[in-house]
Chain A
Amino acid sequence: MILSIETSTPRASLALFDREKASIEWEHAFTTERAHNSVIFSPLKEALEVCGHSLDLIVVGLGPGSYSGVRVGIAVANGLAIALGAPVVGLSSLVAYGAEGGDDFLVIGDARRASVFVAEVKSRALVGEPDLIDVKQAGEVLAKRTEGRETLTADAPLVDRYGVRLSGPNAVVLARLAAGLKEDQIAELAARPLEPAYLRPPHITTPKPKTPGAKSLKD
């Protein structure tokens, strides 16, 4: 059985995929802005009961999205992997969006600090890295790039602003994608440390060098 964990957005989900039946055995979705860490354990307990604490693969969505959401997903995946001895792989959450028109689509999202990201998904695989666009140019750039293509976003405020459809990553799609991975692909992915998909380096404001005595007391 494959357990899939997708917590990169407030609409989070878990799913179990039965390899023998080649179908989703169990799924659960929940909504939380910031409390993934406290809300996830009750459905997770149910999932472990359904699979009898026996998993042959764990897959987790790495975002991009909420940093703490993704970190909760990774921490859960790592904890389960250690305790159950199952391999764990991370996949971009962008490839696990619920699309209506097939496996080729665009995903846009709020990338914070006045920017929007746009990512291209082809055959349920990410093409290159997401691009960051300044919100001031986003209207024009996105109008060109999204013309005639299915474009999805998990961020409600972007729906009307850019005329795109509201959808998000989900554990059911993620589990199906993981089920399609070959053994050597699993081995390669499982060897990588799980890390959230960061759209940019950490935002750090560095202090200016100060001469002794000339320093602000407010620091």
Chain B
Amino acid sequence: MTRSATAPPSYAGPLILALESSCDETAVAIADGLDHILASEISSQVELHRPYGGVVPELASRNHNLNLRPLIDLALEKAGVSIEVIDVFAATAGPGLASSLLIGNTTAKALALAAGGKPFYSINHMEGHLLSPFMGDPEGIRPCAALVVSGGHTLLIHLRGLGDYQLLGTTRDDAAGEAFDKVAKMLGLPYPGGPEIDRQARAGDPAAFDFPRSMIDSGDLGFSFSGLKTAMFYQLPKLDQPLSPTCLADLCASFQEAVVDVLVAKALTAIRQTGETLLTLSGGVSCNHRLREKMSAACEKNGIELKIAAPAWCTDNAAMIAYVAAAKALHGVEPSSLDEDVNPNLRLAD
């Protein structure tokens, strides 16, 4: 293939352009194969949604529509490549908000078609999170037990290879990140609540309140976090209002400890069940300091290798979508049809 002057000087390939618009972040990434991220641009809408205490789908969609084109231009400029040299296009197809997914997905398909019928990969957002711990790892994707924890999902997966995923367990009700957000709201903490609880908890006593570790001894790999939310709901009226800074910190630390204990215990069970020696941790909640700390300690104690996604790839981004697309292209996976629609409830594994 002939390359024009606007291709990167040391080109490994394939050059991927990936778009992500599944929730409230508009993101564009350009990557050269698996190992080189040339640009990863994110336009966050968090300030727009903050007054509402959560993502407003219609507002998200309106802003994806406005943000995406300038963001693609910016990413191409930062990567120093022109659109003609892109080999593969990719976009998130789900899970997420239908009206948001539509924008990145349709744009990427139009780009692929107009750029001369280049391959297009429709990517599962959760596969992006699942594989994100391997980004930048020269050893590439390896079999492991994977814990993916985000605002919308709590998944334990046996990853046997690219595209070979077995769901070991998931939540029966709230996702771990959802529990963080809902409890933060109850405590009157600003949106987004997850990072805020993490911050408050650092000054708190994790043993101050005894919150339930739901299903920790259930023997399976399922989760339930709604009971923890209820426990917080009944705890609050028993305390002096307004909450003192110490009490708030203790509540945050104790709540967080309960979530983390369950996540760590189930992840260890998953390792035992699968017989793998590698555990990966990814998704927005994997930014949580206490989770990183306790998971690291538990893995070290049990002789398990732990790979945690880099903080930049824990929250929504398009670089992880580009990574999955690169892996698929390099493994010879058949590209997606342009006639495929987005799927807000897209599943990763059964």
Interface residues of A (CB under 8 A from B): 35, 37-39, 41-42, 44-45, 48, 53, 67-68, 71-72, 74-84, 193-196, 198, 202-204, 206-207, 211-215, 217, 219
Contacts and interface: CB of A to CB of B under 8 A. Distances in A.
A71 B102 contact: yes
A203 B59 CA distance: 9
A48 B70 CA distance: 24
A41 to B, nearest CB: 4
A42 B113 CA distance: 10
Contacts of A195: 62, 65-66
Contacts of B99: 67-68, 71
B65 A82 contact: no
B110 A80 contact: yes
Interface stretch (B6-14, B183-191, B286-294, B318-326): B183-191
A44 B113 contact: yes
Contacts of B104: 75
B342 A37 contact: yes
B111 A35 contact: no
Q: 7 tightest A-B contacts by CB?
A: A79-B110, A213-B236, A83-B114, A75-B106, A41-B338, A202-B58, A38-B341
19 contacts: A37-B105, A37-B109, A37-B342, A38-B338, A38-B339, A38-B340, A38-B341, A45-B113, A45-B117, A71-B61, A71-B106, A75-B105, A79-B106, A79-B110, A82-B83, A193-B70, A194-B69, A198-B62, A213-B233
Nearest to B342: A37
Given A38-B340, A53-B114, A213 B186 contact: yes
Interface in B96-137: 98-99, 102-111, 113-117
Given A71-B61, A72-B106, A207-B52, A219 B182 contact: yes
B241 A72 contact: no
Query: Do most interface residues of chain A lie in helix, strand or loop, or is the interface mixed?
Result: helix
Interface string B28-62: 00000000000000000000000111001011011
B72 interface: yes
B239 to A, nearest CB: 8
A77 B99 CA distance: 17
A35 B62 CA distance: 19
A167 to B, nearest CB: 26
B215 interface: no
A35 B73 CA distance: 27
Contacts of A193: 66, 69-70
A100 to B, nearest CB: 33
Contacts of A71: 61, 65, 99, 102-103, 106
A214 B70 CA distance: 44
B23 interface: no
B61 to A, nearest CB: 7
B229 interface: yes
Nearest to B64: A71
B332 interface: no
A202 B62 contact: yes
